[in-house]
Amino acid sequence: MKKILIKNGYVVDPKSGKNGHRDILISNGKIEKIADMIDVADCVDKGKSAGTKTKKSDIKVIDAEGLLVAPGLVDVHVHFRDPGFTDKEDIYTGAKAAAKGGYTSVVMMANTKPAIDTVETMKYVLDKGKETAINVYACGNVTMGLKGEELTDMDALAAAGAVGFTDDGIPLLKEDIVRKAMEKTAQLDMPISFHEEDPSVIENNGINRGKASEFFGIGGSPRTAEINMIARDIKLAEGLKASIDIQHISTKEGVQLVREAKAAGMSIHAEATPHHFSLTEEAAIEHGTLAKMNPPLREEEDRRAIIAGLVDGTIDMIATDHAPHTVEEKSKEITKAPSGIIGLETALALGITNLVDAGYMTIDKLIRVMSTNPAAVYHLDAGYIAENGPADIILIDTRISEVYEKENIASKACNTPFIGCELKGKVMMTICRGEIAYEA
C-alpha cells in the first residue's frame, strides 16, 4: 500500500486555524495522520501478513522544508470549453493547468455547446473530469440553452451531480425567471451564481467606458451595467434563503452593495478575479485584446475597493474565470475579439504578489479565500487539512520569484496580459486524492 509522508513543512489550515510545522501522512486518498513529527518507521504496517502490509519502500517521503503546506485550491469559476469549443481548451488540458496552479478542485461553468442543461451533458462533463488528476465539478444551467426563457430541470441536474447553477456568460434579464430560479436553488440548498452585466447600456463590451474606451474609440461598458444588475438581484433575493454568488465583481459600488446585503443578513457571496484586483483599464490600453474581459478592467479606485472587500470579508472568494481563447480569435480587432483571459496558473502567484507581499492580507487569509471559502459556499469536501479528510494538498514556495513565460503554460491557450510579468510564489507540488497530480 503506497503512502506519502510530507515532512518538515509549515502547515496552514484556515478552517481550523491550526498553523505550524507538522508532518502529514497520506494513505488511501485520505490524510491518515497529522503530528509534530512522524517517523517513517511508524508508517510501516506492523503485524500484517507480508502480502498486505506497507513496507518502508512503499512510503514516498517528501521533504517540505521551507515550504508552505496548504489545502488544495478551489476555483468555482472556470471555463474548460468542453464540449463544443475544444480548440480553446478541453477538460484534460484545463485540469493540467489547474493542477500546475495548485488547484485540486474546480467548478466548470455551463456555457458549453451543448450547454450543461441536460443530464446527458452533465454526465459527459463529470465522467470526463473523473479521468483527470483533479476533482472536476460542474454547474448546471439556470435556463435551457442559455436563452433566459425556461428553467432547466434543476432537480434532475442536481441529482446528476451539479454543484450549483448559473448561466454565466449571459446575464439573466427576466425577473420572474431569476426569482423562480432563486426559489428552486434555495429548496435544493445549492448556490446560484450571476453574471451581472446589463446589455442594454453596453456598447462594445470587454472594455471599460472611460479612459480605455476613449483610447479605442468605442462605446465600452459603463460601471452602471454591473451596479444595476447587482442591486436588482439583491432586491429579488430579499425574503428568500437562496445562496447568491455575485461573479467576477468589478466596481466599487458593486462591492458596497454586497457589503450592505451581508450586513442585512442575506446569504450573498461574491467572487473577485486576480485580474480585477491586480490590473486597471490601463492594462487594456497596453495589452489590447489580451486584457479584454467581461466585466472589464476598471479604475484604480475599483481595484482598491475589491482588495478592501477581500480583506474585510465582503468578497468571500477569489475565482479565476479561466477563459481560454485561441491566438487567432484574440488577434482580431478590439471590437471583434472575444472577452476573457486564462488564469489558473497565475492566480496564486498574483495573490501572493499583489495581496500578501503588498501587505493587504496574510497568506492564511489568501488560502482561505482561494480554498476554504469557495469550498464552503459550494458544499465541496475540500479546503481544509484534517485527519480523515481528503488528501488534497499543495506545497508552495513563497520565496521564489519567476517570470511567467508563454512556453511554460500548461493550458492550450495563452491569452493573458501577465506573460513576461515577474510573480512571487511557486507551486512545487499538487497532491489530489492522495496522488501527485503535479510536480514542479
Residues assigned a catalytic role: 321
Q: Which amino acid is at 346?
A: T
Q: How many CB atoms lie within 10 A of CB 63?
A: 11
Q: Quote the CA–CA distance of 169 and 147 in Å, as a whole number.
A: 11
- Three-state DSSP class for residue 48: coil
C-alpha separations of 378 from 123, 154, 374, 428 in Å: 19, 16, 6, 27
The helix (run of H) or strand (run of E) holding residue 287 is helix 281-287
Contact 331, 307 (CB under 8 A): no
Cell of 93: 488540458
Contact 8, 64 (CB under 8 A): yes
Phi, psi of 23 (to 5 degrees): -100, 150
Q: At what angle do helices 175-188 and 224-237 cross, to 10 degrees?
A: 50
Cell of 386: 484534517
Cell of 265: 443578513
Contact 108, 138 (CB under 8 A): yes
| Cis bond before residue 71 (omega within 30° of 0) | no
Q: How many CB atoms lie within 10 A of CB 328?
A: 9
Contact 29, 1 (CB under 8 A): no
Q: What is the DSSP string of 173-234?
A: --HHHHHHHHHHHHHHT-EEEE----GGG-BSTTSBTTHHHHHHTS-BB-THHHHHHHHHHH
Q: What angle do CA 234, 235, 238 make, to 5 degrees?
A: 90
Q: Quote the CA–CA distance of 275 and 126 in Å, as a whole number.
A: 28
Q: What distance, in Å, lies between the first and last C-alpha atoms of the chain?
A: 25
Q: Are strands 68-71 and 30-35 parallel, antiparallel or unpaired?
A: unpaired
Q: How many CB atoms lie within 10 A of CB 29?
A: 13
